[in-house]
Amino acid sequence: MKNLFLLSGILFYTLSFSQDRMTPELLWKLKRIGEIAVSPDNSTIAFTQREYKVEDNSSESNIYLVPFGGGTIKQLTTTKGSEFNITWSKDSKNIYYLAKGEGGVNVFAIDAINGIPPVQISFVDGGMSGFKFSADESLLVYCNEVKMEKYTGAEFHTDMPNSNVRVIDDLMYRHWSDWEDGMRSHVFFLNKKDGKFTGKGKDILEGENFESPLKPFGGIEHFTISPDQKTILYVCKKSEGKQFAVSTNADIYAYDIATGSTTNLSSGMKGYDVDPSYSEDGSKIAWLSMEEDGYEADKNDIVIYDGATKTISNITSGFDITVDGFVWSPKGDKIYFKSVKEACVQLFEYDFKSKQIRQITSGDHDYTSIELAGDFIVGGRMDMNHPTDIFKVSIKKGEETQLTDVNKDIYSKIKTGTVEKRWVTTTDGKKQLVWVIFPPDFDKTKKYPALLYCQGGPQSAVSQFFSYRWNFQLMAANDYIIIAPNRRGLPGFGQEWNDAIREDWGGQPMEDYLAAVDEIKKEPYVNADKIGAVGASYGGYSVYYLAGIHENRFKCFISHCGLFNLESWYGTTEELFFANSDIGGDYYGVQSPKSYLENSPHRKVQNWNTPMLIFHGEQDFRVPLNQGMEAFQALQLKGIESKMVLFPDENHFVLTPQNAIIWHREFYSWLDHYLK
């Protein structure tokens, strides 16, 4: 009977889907722009574009060029495999990038003007995962992994080479989606010889059991080279084991190439210090800094290190704004940065002379990257209905010009819905921004089922992001109205609003969700008897929690990788600083935080009465598999209609095309069964 329900649901989904709307299959045909790099002469923009092949569950990334003034896009690389880490030569004639080659992933050069076949210019044994060149391109700085610790039974017991054993005596034995294997990412440098970079570079963290860039998401933004080519800056969290698990104290280190000595530039600064960048004259260094140790969602400020005075100043401390990505002006008199404001990621300018911040862009969109090009900023821009394309923005006027439209062929054949911005009064009298997304061909005289979208993070804005899983356009294409609140605990509305969720996961944020639903369902076009709630991570937690308090507002739920039992989650998750800051600490101390009694969904299972679908990745170590299993077991034992869909090879996300399409089919089959 269960299999029949699944098959019939998929069949209905396939036959009923309108061909002029977004589908999961079309979603995975979209071309995805990744890295963007402007040539030094500001004439050309290089970018990577990834395309997926659903039939063989693969993808490939190539390099493309578009003129700075817009025009015809030219594909530059055609070799098999993916190219990444693109950077221009100083004369704007060549593009350097990483790809598989002799000795592993190495640096290649390709003529950007004539398209002459690429040439491998680095031959580093074992390859690299990221690189940067010095200003004169004579010095290569790169990162690669080195073996620092034993972790397997075969390493400890060499006479047992065919054993399959992990030997663990400290924390952080797994991280995000990987088990600890004793490998550490280190930063190296290597000088050019005879036009090539050959051999093994100097490890600037030699013998240190630490990592740079930081895992799981750190990249080449975590190291840089001084303009005079004498110093390498790198980001490192120099702690191990239990201390590493509870701390976010990452620092900026300066390595002197001549002497081999290292100086901690951010000593005494307790939170995350990342993404160092020199001013063009090398006199100053800027980086992103969080003040509080252990709080990954703290306010992100830009701090400036003055090389002459050895002093540090915080240039954004007086502004209730959190920063994400920045670039220096050539004269060093201004800094341009990205920040989320009222659920949209905009571009801003900081002026050192006036000490003021000016907003450059406005409108309902998200900027995903930032590059300076003379009087313009170039970056990726997306919105809820469109994936990333490249735009240039006049710094003075804020005028935005679209330079690419890589998915024009698909979008010319489909209809999209509209997005409305609403302000809803919360139960404590505050104003909450709620996005309402409407189906294509919306008819206000009809009644539509609705979905409450619960955001993860928990401190991640419900901005104008375009997701390839939680895709609002696809939800709307299935004739659902989406209610997407920027509930308590999200950035873009001031730090007080962002911090309000700490140790109150099940309190006011849940009231904010319900306030949004109760307001929007008053609209005559919403079928108040056909509303579902969906979400992932903290959003999945929200679904579990709402299931115990919703008082029959919802007809079904979908939770992806949600936190169900905060006690067992604390005992199995890895980055404990997150749990300590948001939940309040461990559950077994003398005085256990109230979160375990008041905010854990498993304590409200007695109130559950609504059908629920659970998704979980078996390689998810941030929210381990047992969370989904515990929730599913409770549903089954209570006799509530429920289904669990597991992905053995996926982590917190669903990253492969065929798995993702199955995810969508199960998602809409479940919703359609209960809401239509």
The catalytically annotated residue of 537, 600, 642, 669 is: 537
Contact 501, 582 (CB under 8 A): yes
The whole-angstrom separation of Cα 657 and Cα 669 is 18
User: Measuring CA to CA, how many Å separate 347 from each of 40, 320, 371, 382, 420?
Assistant: 21, 15, 11, 13, 22
**CB proximity list for 502: less than 8 A, separation 6 or greater:** 489, 581, 582, 584
**Phi, psi of 570, rounded to the nearest 5 degrees:** -60, -35
Strands 419-425 and 386-394: unpaired
DSSP secondary structure string, 631-676? HHHHHHHTT--EEEEEETT--SS--SHHHHHHHHHHHHHHHHHHH-
The single-letter DSSP state of residue 31 is -
User: Cα angle at 364 between 357 and 359, to 5 degrees?
Assistant: 10
499 labelled catalytic? no
> What angle is formed at CA 491 by the lines to CA 488 and CA 492, rounded to 5 degrees?
110
CA separation, residue 468 to residues 78, 115, 130, 436 (Å)? 25, 32, 26, 19
CA dihedral of 272, 275, 279, 281, whole degrees rounded to 10: 110
Contact 615, 560 (CB under 8 A): yes
Interatomic CA distance for residues 314 and 301, integer angstroms: 7
| 652 carries an active-site annotation | yes
User: Is residue 77 helix, strand or coil?
Assistant: coil
Burial class (CB in 10 A: 0-12, 13-18, 19+), 582: buried
**Of 273, 274, 276, 298, which is closest to residue 285 (Cα–Cα)?**
276
Q: Which of 365, 602, 616, 652 is catalytic?
A: 652
Q: How many CB atoms are located within 10 Å of the residue 505 CB?
A: 25
Q: How far is CA 288 from the centre of its chain?
A: 17
Distance CA 139, CA 133 (A): 6
Say if residues 335 and 327 touch (Cβ distance below 8 Å).
yes
Structure tokens given for 564: 């169900």
Exposure string of 81-109, with b = 16+ CB inside 10 Å and e = fewer, is ebbbbbbbbeebebbbbbbebeebbbbbb
Helix axes 508-520, 538-546, angle to 10 degrees: 70
**In this structure, what DSSP letter does residue 468 have?**
S
Work out the number of other CB atoms within 10 angstroms of the CB of residue 282. Answer: 16
Catalytic residue selected from 251, 339, 620, 642:
620
Length of the chain: 676
Q: Are 459 and 494 in contact (CB under 8 A)?
A: no
- For residue 603, the 8-state DSSP code is G
Q: Give every CB contact of residue 136 below 8 A, 6+ residues apart in sequence.
A: 90, 229
Q: Quick check: helix, strand or coil at residue 79?
A: coil
Element counts in the chain: helices (H) and strands (E) = 14, 41
Distance CA 595, CA 600 (A): 7
Gyration radius of the chain over CA positions: 25
Q: Tokens 């039939």 belong to which residue?
A: 55
The residues annotated as belonging to the active site are 537, 620, 652
